[in-house]
């Protein structure tokens, strides 16, 4: 027979565990500050942040794609799903946790690094942009220096749009690409054999 004290303790623990699980399951987009609803499903599973393989974040807001050769040790291209409903995510959150929707990771060659910097850093890539009312990033670029992440960029080729912690060539800083800029980044997508490249 359960005593009133035992029943009270079970109710309290149940209440606490429900509160904790709902708080822990909410995702915060570092870019929009919105809370993603954990009930929203994307192809049967929601976006989460992985505790394993955390990296140290040291985002450098002074670096720019316009300088083309900013100092970094390595650059990773990420094939991932960076959206859920109306919420968008970079490959890493501000705690250094990787998103759980990564399909492939490839290290860029120096030539590929230079190519990305040239396209994203060129203001001509943003003149007369393609205007599409969506943003569903599926490709990311993550920059490392001394084992720490100094910058990252998320790209949506379908929507011709990107967001970045690194200064881009767009004078308005909106990240809206034109068709030429999108095609150039799509060439790299195909070269890396990533998913969701555009068929041109």
Asked, for residue 52, whether it belongs to a domain, the answer is: yes
- 151 pLDDT exceeds 50? yes
Q: Which one is predicted more confidently, 6 or 42?
A: 42
State the chain's mean pLDDT as an integer: 81
Which pLDDT does position 39 carry in this prediction? 36
Largest CA distance in the chain: 76
Local confidence band at 101 (pLDDT 50, 70, 90 cut-offs): very high
pLDDT confidence bin for 38, thresholds 50/70/90: very low
Confidence (pLDDT) at 172: 87
Burial 61-82 (b: 16+ CB within 10 A, else e): eebbbbeeebebeebbbbbbbb
Q: For residue 158, which of 122, 106, 194, 191 has the smallest C-alpha distance?
A: 194
Q: Which residues contact 24 (CB under 8 A, 6 or more apart)?
A: none
What's the angle, vertex CA 57, arms to CA 173 and CA 87, rounded to 5?
Answer: 50
Domain contains 199: no
Please state, as a whole number, how many other Cβ atoms lie within 10 Å of the Cβ of residue 38.
16
Name the least confident of 12-21, 78-87, 187-196: 12-21
Does residue 117 lie in a domain region?
yes
pLDDT of residue 45: 61
Determine the average pLDDT of the residues in 98-117.
96
Checking phi first, is residue 102 left (phi over 0); if not, alpha (psi -120 to 50) or beta?
Answer: beta
In a domain, 22, yes or no: no
How far is it, in rounded angstroms, from Cα 155 to Cα 164?
Answer: 9
Is a pLDDT exceeding 50 seen at residue 24? no
Mean pLDDT of 123-136: 94
- Give SS3 for 65: helix
Does residue 108 sit within a domain?
yes
Q: Is residue 14 part of a domain?
A: no
- Mean pLDDT value across residues 94-116: 96
Dist CA 60 CA 171 (whole Å): 19
Distances 112 to 58, 72, 185, 193 between C-alpha atoms, Å: 23, 14, 10, 14
Tokens at 109, concatenated: 């060659």
Domain residues for the domain of 82 are: 37-191
Please answer whether residues 108 and 77 qualify as being in contact, where contact means their C-beta atoms are separated by less than 8 angstroms.
Answer: yes
Average pLDDT rounded to a whole number, residues 169-184? 94
Work out how many domains the chain is built from and give that number: 1
- Does 144 score more than 50 pLDDT? yes
Q: What is the pLDDT of residues 43-76, one digit of tens each?
A: 446 899 998 889 999 999 999 999 867 889 999 9
Residue 2 lies in a domain: no
Residue 26 within any structural domain of the chain: no
Percent of the chain residues topping a pLDDT of 90: 68
CA-based nearest residue to 125, from 191, 77, 183: 183
């Amino acid at each position: 027979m359960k005593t009133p004290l035992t029943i009270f303790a079970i109710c309290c623990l149940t209440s606490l565990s429900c509160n904790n699980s709902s708080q822990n399951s909410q995702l915060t987009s570092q870019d929009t500050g919105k809370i993603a609803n954990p009930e929203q499903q994307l192809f049967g599973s929601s976006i989460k942040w992985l505790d394993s393989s955390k990296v140290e974040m040291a985002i450098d807001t002074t670096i720019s794609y316009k300088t083309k050769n900013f100092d970094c040790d390595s650059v990773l291209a990420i094939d991932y799903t960076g959206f859920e409903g109306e919420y968008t995510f970079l490959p890493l959150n501000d705690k250094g946790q990787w998103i759980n929707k990564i399909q492939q990771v490839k290290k860029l060659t120096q030539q590929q690094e230079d190519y990305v910097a040239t396209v994203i850093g060129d203001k001509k890539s943003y003149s007369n942009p393609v205007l599409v009312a969506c943003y569903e990033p599926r490709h990311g670029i993550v920059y490392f220096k001394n084992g720490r992440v100094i910058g990252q960029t998320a790209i949506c080729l379908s929507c011709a749009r990107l967001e970045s912690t690194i200064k881009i060539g767009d004078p308005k800083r909106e990240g809206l690409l034109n068709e030429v800029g999108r095609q150039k980044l799509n060439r790299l997508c195909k070269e890396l054999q990533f998913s969701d490249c555009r068929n041109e």
